[in-house]
Every structure is written in C-alpha cells, then in structure tokens.
A = this chain, B = another copy of it.
Amino acid sequence: MDTTLSASQPNLLDEIRTLTQERLAPRASKYDEGAANPHENWRDLWEHGWLAMSVPKDYGGMGLDTSTYVMVLEEIAKGCINTCMTLHMHSTVMKFIAALATPEQMKRLYPEVVEGGKLFASWGSEPAVSLGRNFIVETTIDPTKGGYAINGVKHFCTMAGAATYYMVWCALPGADMEAGLMLALVPAGNDGVRIIGDWNTLGMRGTVSPSAEFNNCFVGPEQILGEPGQATKVGVVESFGLGFGAACLGAATAALDFTSEFCKTRIYKPDPLPIAHDVTVQRHVAGMSVHLDSARSMLYQSASQWEDADVITKGILAAKAKYLCAEAALEATSKAIQVVGGRSISKSLPLERAFRDVRACTLMPPNNDAMLANIGKAQLGLAGTAFGLDAQEV
C-alpha cells in the first residue's frame, strides 16, 4: 500500500526513488563491505540537489517540509541506509544553521553545500556519557584570544575525514548544560582535531564513525552557531529521531519487499506452488507488513504535525515515530531471515546487511528505552524535552 498522506511534492519522491534504485542502491554492499563512506552516492545526491534538501529556498535549497523530508529519507534508506543516515545528519546541521546562524553565516555556509557539495557532520557522543540517558558533554570550549579552544574526545564521529565541517557539541567550562551548551563548526582540516581509532562494526559501516580528539582546537567566533544554551531549544535536535525512524523503516521495507519477491517466486520440491502460498509464510509476511505500515503511518503523522509543534511535543512526536519504526524494523529484518531461510545469510543477498544495519541504527540516541520513557511521561503528564533539559522554546 502506498501511503502518501502528505507528500507535498510527489514528483520529488519519484525522482529520489529512481535515483536511489538506479544509482545509490547498487553501491550499498560495497560501502558496507569496505566500511567506506558513500562518496559516489553523495556526489549523485549533490548533482540532483539533495544535499540541499534542508537548505532554505532563499539560499538555493529545496527547503523541504518535514513530511516530504522523511519520505525522501525513507526512499534513500530502501537503497542505502548509510547514504540515508549521513545525508540526514548533514541535513540536520542545515536545520541548525537555519535556526541558529546569523545571516552572514548562512551566506557563507549554504553555498558551500549548494554549489560546492560539501558535507556537514554533527558530533555529540562522548566516551564517558550516554546521550540516551543524560544530555551531557564533557568536551569544553574555552574563550581564548580571538575565539575559542576546544578540548575533549568525541566518539561515533560520523563522516570523520569526509565531511568539510564537523559541528561539535561542546560546553563552556563550569556552566550547566542548559546555559553552557555550544555548537562549533570545526573545519575538517583544523589541526587541533585528530581522528583516532578505527570503525569496524556490525552495521552502519558506511557512516565511518571513529573517535576524534580535540586538543586546543581553535575556532573563531564566526564558527559558533547561536548563543550558549540555545542548541537544544530550537526544535531541531528532536528531528534526529524522525530521520532515524525513516532510515530504519526504509531499510526494513526493502527487506520486506525482497522477502515478498522471494516468496512469490521460490518453489521447493515437491510443492507445485511458490512458498507465498504457505500459510505460515503469509502470517510472517503479514506481521512484517502490518507493523511497518503502522509505524509508517505514525511517522507520517508525526511529520505532518511537526512544523506546528512546540519543542516538547516535537520530542514526543519523534519518540513515537522512532520507537515504532525501530521496533517494526528490528522485527521485520529478523523475520525476513527466518522466512527466506538459510540462503538469506549469504552476503550475496541484501537481507543480512539490512539485519545488521537496522540493529545498529536503532541505537542512535535517544535509544528506544529513552523514547519509551519519554512517551510514558507524556502520557502521565510528566512530559519534558527529549533530552531532559527543561528548555522553553525560544
């Protein structure tokens, strides 16, 4: 069932679907195998304008509404979840810029994307904290002569070495998170940042997310986005969850489609008909299908209410969408392997990759337990912001 509740630009969806299937998807297994960034896919996306899908129209971007945005991500994830996730991170930085940057910054930064095809990463995670539990960063940013000095260690540094800017989550020393949190755009070539460790993981291998060390990394004031403490109060950080949901959903939907096609064509002797006629197969496929549809329905509903929602509501909308998409995707990718059977574990088929990628993807913060806690609190009249900071909307 094609549920296009609110795609304001259906032709855009056709375009991204075609681009994904023809250009992006065929390279997906290569990025996975090599734990390599999807450079060719990024280039294709850029050439068709997608790197700017969250850049405001005034700056030459698509300025997509949230509904269309999640549908685009879902389509891309059907072909290559690594491409989807890196694009989502980049696009979310575009939204932070729209919410926090000065006009001068926008004029400087957006063209690098629109015209230059540059990518922006966002680095928040750290070794000693768990963003899914408490929104705390230990990486410090100290005012120094002519700018700031960043010190600390980040891990899960997606697109390290590939993005042009790293948006680093850091905090003024001594201040609490609500007052002191800052976002700094560190150019990739800055010699105060050093990539450490490697990236050899179960899934999401193409995001290439090793650790990075900041050692008196200097940034000028023009590299700072917004005022201290503002980053979590502008309704952007919550949108990470929507995209994570779309990514899981897309990858799992592709797994379902593959499984359905397999069942429609696969005949085991001495049965005269394909296994699609097997009642147990039908039940498994139905369970996968109806839960993915249900999660999709909630994702699209959350997206359609996004622009009008306040920060707290955005957190709940994202929590519901991500939780359901993640759970349905975990179930679907595991069941797909059960239905297709022993053949499914071969790396020559796409199912085992979806199984690995979805398991990894659902861990992105806040994780499902945190999402569930958030939903429960909301239902019980105890709602707070997604990250537990008692922010008011600015």
Kindly state whether residue A215 has any CB partner on chain B within 8 Å: no
Complex CA gap A286/B368 in Å reads 11
Kindly state whether residue A375 has any CB partner on chain B within 8 Å: yes
A303 to B: closest C-beta gap in Å: 12
Kindly state whether residue A12 has any CB partner on chain B within 8 Å: no
B128 contacts A269, CB within 8 Å?
Answer: yes
In the complex, the chain B residue whose C-beta lies closest to that of A319 is: B290
**Given known contacts A263-B380, A380-B263, A372 and B290 CB-to-CB distance under 8 angstroms:** yes
Copies of this chain, whole number: 4
Q: Which residues of B contact A175 (CB under 8 A)?
A: none
- The A300-328 residues at the B interface (CB cut-off 8 A) are 301, 316, 320, 323-324
Q: Which listed residue (B285, B294, B345, B381) contacts A201, Cβ 8 A?
A: B345
Kindly state whether residue A138 has any CB partner on chain B within 8 Å: yes
Q: Which residues of B contact A367 (CB under 8 A)?
A: 338, 341
Interface of A is mostly: helix
Complex CA gap A341/B360 in Å reads 9
Interface size class of A (residues with CB under 8 A): 35 or more
Complex CA gap A201/B359 in Å reads 17
* Interface flags, A364-383, vs B, CB<8A=1, else 0: 11011100111111111110
A376 contacts B346, CB within 8 Å?
Answer: no
Q: Which residues of B contact A105 (CB under 8 A)?
A: none
- The A81-121 residues at the B interface (CB cut-off 8 A) are none
Q: Which residues of B contact A3 (CB under 8 A)?
A: 301
Q: Which listed residue (B134, B201, B372, B379) contacts A347, Cβ 8 A?
A: B201
Complex CA gap A72/B89 in Å reads 42
Complex CA gap A324/B288 in Å reads 12
Q: Which residues of B contact A263 (CB under 8 A)?
A: 380
Complex CA gap A348/B360 in Å reads 15
B294 contacts A324, CB within 8 Å?
Answer: yes
Kindly state whether residue A204 has any CB partner on chain B within 8 Å: yes
A270 contacts B134, CB within 8 Å?
Answer: yes
Q: Which residues of B contact A377 (CB under 8 A)?
A: 282
Give 5 A-B contacts (CB < 8 Å), ordered by A residue: A132-B341, A138-B269, A284-B369, A286-B379, A290-B372
